[in-house]
Chain A
Amino acid sequence: MSTRKGGKLQSEIPGLSKALCMKLLSDLERGKRPVLHATKCSLDNAIYNHKVGYFTPGGKKVATELNVSSVKKMSRAVFMLEILLRNIDTGAVNTKRELYYISKGETKGTPSLKPLDFTEQGESDDTIDFICELLECYREEMNCYANDRGGQTYSQNLVVTETLPDGDTAVVDLSKLGTSPFQPKNRPQNLRLSMKKKIDFCLIVESEGTANTLVANGMTKRHNCIVMGAQGVPSNAVRGWAKLIQDQLSVPMYFFGDLDAYTMQNIFRTLKAGSAASLIRNQDYSAPDVRFLGVLPEDIKKYDLFDYPVKENDAQEVRALKKADDALRNDPFFQDKKNKGSADILRWLMKNKRRCEQQAYFSVNPKDPTMPEKIIIDKIKRGEYV
């Protein structure tokens, strides 16, 4: 089964689910042990080709055989699948947290289902992921969304048209929102984008606060651009939204974030090429055109930025540095020659064990609040990015 885009797959899910359950049932009827195959979502099954631009799944499958140890997992999957199919049928949507409580409500109301009860949300989340891997579909296609997080977007020239479930359309002109940002939805595939005037670039800023500051200081007024805050590791909404901007507007995309191993591996790489854990949905949830604008190692010297050594007690950074070594050897993204620039930054970080934050640009001329903007524009003009 191949991964497909948008709403098309949602209509296929009930049929696919039924076929899967029929197969299980008929195996059981014949006393044959059913085996379920799901795409293996891990780095050793991730293929990266710079022409494609994002991680795609290899041929490895994880086989789950029905036995005493897996009977609970399979029962839970069938139980949750029923809830999700019901949602698709009625058009209801839920967050993962809500589905956790819906499933608890079901087991509470039906004593015979009590053994399936999830004791914490992690268990129900895993079950939902397992179903998605079995059916090779996006969680969003199951009407199951994460909480909206990140992706606040500002522009004077972007217009968003949304097709609502009832067929109506809503048009949002971002220039009319004042200082309020546009918040992309979990299924950005339903949006259509247009430009009032040619947009020169899209800037994705790691810190949503800094994105806000750039806009408040007039960046979107002075430049025909889109500014978006990623808010750390990009959520599906941010990833899908960036992909949509890339595909529908064909504008240059730049990422502006900290110079550290965590940002490079977990934020920038996920935004650009997706992740190994989400192999089946990287196609619609990665923006391969995004370039790393900075902070670059050479910026430290050039702009005399404040940087500092990685603290030993900063567990996240220490772990990311250790992971960097592994990434250089095993991660096909960093191994690809097209991404040599990103790999070189990782090598520099490992060697120097220093980091520099995006906010360090504010130290260049403390009296000029638009200094970071000037540096960013200057870097874009000079082509100083990787």
Chain B
Amino acid sequence: MGQYIDIQHAFSISGFLHMKYLGGALSLWRPRRRYYFAIDEIAEELIYHKSEVDFTVHRIPIGSFPISTAVITLDDNNNCAFILHVSGRSVEFEADNEKSCRCWLDAFSNRYSEAEKQKFSQTMLRKTKKSSSLPDHESSTEQPVPPRKFSFQVRPTKRDLFASPSKHPEISENYLLDEEMDDWVTQWLRNEKFHNFSTLTDPTTPTSTNMSKKSLCSDSADTEELDLLREITNNQKKRIEEMKHEMHSLTMHLDQMRRRCDSTSGTDRDTLSSQNKFLNSEILRMSAKCEIYELQTSKFKKENKKLEEDLHQLRCDYVYAVQSTIRIPLHDNTAMDVMSMKLLGGETHKSRLVQLVAEARVEDPSLPTLQSLIQGIYVDSFGFRICLRDESIALHYMATKLHQFYTNKSTSSIEHKKNWKTFLEENAFIELSKETKTMCRRGIPNSLRSTVWKILINQQVEDLKVVYGRYYFRNLCNTQGGEDEKLYSDVHQKQINLDLLRTMPNNVHFMTANSKGVTQLLQVLHAFCLHNPQIGYCQGMNFLAATALLFVGPEDAFWFLIAVTERYFDKTYFDSNLTGAQADQEVLKELLEVQHPKIMKHLTALDIDVASITLNWFIALFFDAVPFNTLLRIWDCFLLEGPKVLFRFAIVLIGKHEEEIISRNDAIMRVSKAASRLAFDEQAIVDMAFNILNLPTRLELKNLQLLYVSVLAERLEKKTRRANAFVNMLANTFSNEKLISNIFIDEFSPDHGFVVSGHHLMGKIAKIKVVQNRGTMADIDIEFDCRVMSICMVKPDMAYVSLISGYMICAHIGSNDEWSVLWEIKLPDVATCLIHRENTLFAGLANGILTVFENSGDKWPTSVQMWHLPLSSAPLMNCVIHDDLLIVATACKLITLDAASLTTLSTTHVASSSTGSGVFYFDKITCMCESSFGIFLTTDHSTLIQLWQDTTCNLLYDISFDHKTRKPSLSETESSVHVESLLFNDSLLWIGTSDGYVFIYDVEPTDNDRENEVKYRLKKFSTDKRGSRSSASKSCRLESLPEDLVENDVPVVGKEKRASRVSICIDRETQQYSAILKNAEEEQEGTGSSSRFNSHSSKTIRSPIRKGFSADSAVSVFSSEPYTETKIDLIEKSDEVFAFNKKEINKFPEARLVSSTDSSCTSMEFDDTFELYSDEERSRRQIAITSPKRLATMNLSRQIHLKRRDLTFDEPYFVPVPESTDKELASDIDADTVVPSVRLTLSMKIKISDSSVRKIISSGPSHILTCSGEFDADEAVLLWRKDEENNLWINDPVLHISSFSSGSSPIDSQPSTGRSK
């Protein structure tokens, strides 16, 4: 006999019963045996053991009966007995008492409640329509059949022989009317058995034959019966005759005796009478005594009853007291995180509770025992499997159960139940009245709950039922195909299927995929999704439906969901943002402010949103938030009164633990969660809930909620839109729609700026205004047919705008920001940057020419002097004016010019960075900014920040370390992050990256703290390796360009304004370029007449662009020095560029080569010294290209130190470099180190966008503007200001006021901050 422990068993009821097999010939002699029985809810069996001990230790049961197919009937003679019919056998069970028997029957009938429900709806339907097409369940045998009917079934064997007499009309009538009669007849017949036989076999009886003959014609069966009866009657007659004789003789005998007695009576009469007297007095005395005793007994009885009542009350109060000892644990207790219980007094309470339960189990065996709870085999009346490993919690559960048991026995609750019953008998509907409210608030008795809920649900949706028809649910359940069905399978099916088994997994009705509850749940949810595809399935509905299914059938559960979504709440409640539910939280917050201002104040101070606790309560109607019995009480009220009760209960649940919440500063969430979990005291909670004063009326609440819904809906929709846009962006459907490309500040009024946005077909400008820390932007009514490259204000009312089409536009700005184009001019190439100084406008063109406009402030171009100054063959990407110096960035060079004389003062080749792939890029400077320390800059695709002062590199700082502070891994992957924008402002360096981060560094002069510093080494290639290219910069040129022309018109950069007046146009369609050469007179003539430079008088040279070379490289023909090399040189040189590292070339894809030439002809600039910056410790390298003539002045013996103590990660950051490459390079280079003059300390890092931070610019003394992403997106343009209190930079979105809704006031948006380390 092994141990019988298996979690596949759970028992709803267990206790002793007498068992006896019925049927068969020996049924009367069978013994009655007492066993310990239990109903296994999972295996659906009734099992029995010899003793309780055997059961609790899980021995294998002696036997079992399958009860899924069993039929239960009652024994009419014995109220403590019932009969189980299963697989052709009948077993009689007898309980110890009537109550216990009823519990057993309840336990059985619980299993059939579904069938009953079916039947209920059946009868309901029948009332309305006779011709119901529903299947008939009348014949269902699962019903406990009426006893008489049953006894008819059970005893047929006994009557086999006497079938005919029992069917006599007279007798059977009696039989039906009077059961005793039936028994008597049966009994009697049994006694008469043999007589009958004898008479039956007597053929000579004349009457029988006569009679039978008479009735033969009518009915043969009747005739037989009649015959039989007649025989019986005859027999009786005979007997009566005999008895008459006997009686006669007896009467004679009696007479004789009487006579004899009379003769002897006279002598003893006196003595007898005295004796009689005495006896009479004795009787009187005794009766008086008896009376006294009786009085005493009744008095004692009364007292006894009172004591019994007291005892009951005490028991009730005792378990209630035990139940109330549950507390929120003081400290974290991982095992039971929300409740703890401590019963002082050692084992006293435990043994007392166990004893009480044992006593109560005599009457109600469905109560749990301590073992069953701890072992987790107990199933409560709702089907929940209770498993409480913690003994004190199990004891608490027992106390709760006992309390319910005692309360149900109390007279008041019996009265209450009776009231409900009579109410239900009298009313078909439950109207919302004072009476019904009180009744619901007192709770619906468990036994009546399904009936009442059904009525409540149905009356909510009565009108809908009329609209949709009676068979709506059935129709939906059986719908196949159709659009709604498709939507369902597309959208909701997956989630529902996921959740089916995750709904009440601890309930026996929802345990397995085959459970009845699960199938019904699926049916209900599926039907609901089809009913309301807009709402569809929302997590939480599964719990609503499942709870309803515990009490009502699937159809009513379905209507319940409809009632919740369409009657109690509205459709917004479960919409895609749960707007309605969220709005209710706002309403609740308002109510709580009134009811519990202290709590709200405390929570607000801690920045805790009440909604994070309470939202679940509203969405799932307190499911899983409060104990199940409390939940039922809440639902009782909710179903009748609607959502207002939810507010009431929410307020109570939060308010109940006010002290605990206020006294704590941490773990508030835990306390508030526990507060609801501990709500076992359902009656007290209900009472408290309905005693809250000063609540708004239902209508007021509704209106308030609607108000919040409208506000929330707007915001949430906006958020959803944004999220969708965000997702779309992620899905690589990245659109160039109005991508913001740049911001420019009006240097005459720094509070104003311009945001330019657009794409290659459209350009727009919006004006930013910063007023009192708030930024707004408004569209300017001007639109270009291509992207805007740059804007520069030359006068407060005059701006130059350069377009990617190569045009430069001069615009006049009116007082109301009205722009009018004054004139436009086509430049040789796109002006990538415009900068203004003292009435002179410098335009850096993409072909390396610096175009200078003098007198740019003049309104009309007649007076504008324009000069072309070729500086480089690569595009001029950026220019900065620093004092009197104009610093222009082109490719990887910084060219410093005297702003007044335009004399080239110095040319600095800056370091280039390597990316992780080991491929070296000689990339252009993408962004730079001037500072008091020098020029900060970065090159393309780089995360390396460089600081250059004159020709000295003072700092190399790789921000990728900071960018990846959380990086846990050692291996390097190719990262697309690079610096996109830079700003130095007030000793802070702002860096914007391509993935939307903004870094703010504190810049301070270094204090030469060299310990633990990361060293960068500047490595230098030996010059003889590059002998072929030692003849300074080279460029390709077009062979068709006449040499004399070049000589004449494209002079070498001189000290004077020896700029050529040349413009170059590229016809991208014909792949031809045209160089337009002019003299000064022509130029002025041109500007005067047509404002464009493509006048006919100029000489135009056209040449087809060779394959393999982009227009850009063709444009770069005008380099600073003229050369006569052919184009082939370029290709050769490109090879040479990479020849120093053959390994790289092999890896180099063709496309990369092209792109490298594309990208601003960097290769053509590759004529100078190679410098390799390498960090020895990290095997990381950079390449610097330095002009040879400037090398002398550059102090190479300095080291670059990176101080990054702010970094929190431990692992160093490695860049794997192939060893062979290392060696090769090592042989080529001389090493030197650089010392940084400044130190960067990361003070803030924040992600502001998903797209790159295009520009950071300072607006006024205390404001910074950043831009990223698309123009109309929220937070595309941010205004940053410094919060003086906590020294943080706070950003606010610059709000776009569109011209259409300019009247509306901007929504106050929440300021947000980054946080410094």
Is A bound to B? Answer: no
Give A residues with C-beta under 8 Å from B.
none
Give B residues with C-beta under 8 Å from A.
none
